[in-house]
Amino acid sequence: MIAIRKSPALLLLMLGFFALASLLARTEKTQAQDDRLKEIIAGDHRSEENRARDKYRHPLEALTFFGIRPDMTVVEIYPGRGWYTEILAPYLKGSGTFYAAEHPGDPSYEAVQRSLEAFDQKVKDAPELYGEVKRTKLTKDGDIAPPDSADLVVTFRNVHSWMGAGTENEAFAAMFRALKPGGVLGLVQHRGDPNAAQDPKAGSGYVNEDYVIELAKKAGFELAEKSEINANPKDTKDYPKGVWTLPPSLRLGDEDREKYLAIGESDRMTLKFVKPAS
């Protein structure tokens, strides 16, 4: 047999071809995942009321920024009535794992109890969408998922609630504990005025961005990236009923209703943190 020697130029050409083929395959896979996410966000299982808030919450952009993939283990903190669960559970079904870490509940807090009951009913009414949801609770000393198991933890507008309850450090510690080394914490929160002193109880619902970053770092996280996809420069953050003056709450009722509708939902930070790999 005659050995055929490949020239360095030919070897480089072959390596380049294989690299290009691999890149194209990854691109096609990513596009398919993006298309699936778009399809779910536009799905008929989501109510018109919930879809109407997409223009403020930007679920496609936010989840893409956090790096979600359908084969991940994902934990959503405080799913509320299931606005994001409607997207996350179907997207992860079949190839990933989804944990809904619910509020521990408080009979004296009627709004929370109603929210928990609504979420429970949502899951029971549509087992084809939510039958695989693993339900846990975020408590002071419990686990929201097995330690070092999650690829991604997401929390949307919850930091002020933890601050109000004095449990912010425990919450960040629980999220850190659940993530694998190298895992991502995706966080969205009403963003406060950086020129105003931070209320440690966050009574207005707004939290300064640097304050949130310090809370995360204290738990061991590293800040990886920021995004302005949920920014709203119209939000002046100085309302009689705090952030709940704005839609969707509109706590003042008909008083200046059109004014607050024109502002829209709050200005929000969107932060990506990473649990260090070592």
**Residue 189 has what pLDDT?**
98
Regions of the chain short of the pLDDT cut 50: 25
Helical axes 209-219 vs 168-178, angle rounded to 10°: 60
- Contact of 112 with 106, CB cutoff 8 Å: yes
- Distance separating alpha carbons of residues 236 and 229, to the nearest angstrom: 18
Q: Which regions of 85-178 does DSSP assign to beta strands (E)?
A: 97-102, 134-137, 150-156
Q: How many residues does the chain have?
A: 278
Q: What are phi and psi of 216, to 5 degrees?
A: -65, -45
CATH 3.10.20.440 fits 48-274, yes or no: no
What is residue 106's predicted lDDT score, i.e. its pLDDT?
A: 78
The domain segmentation of the chain, as residue ranges, is 7-41, 48-274
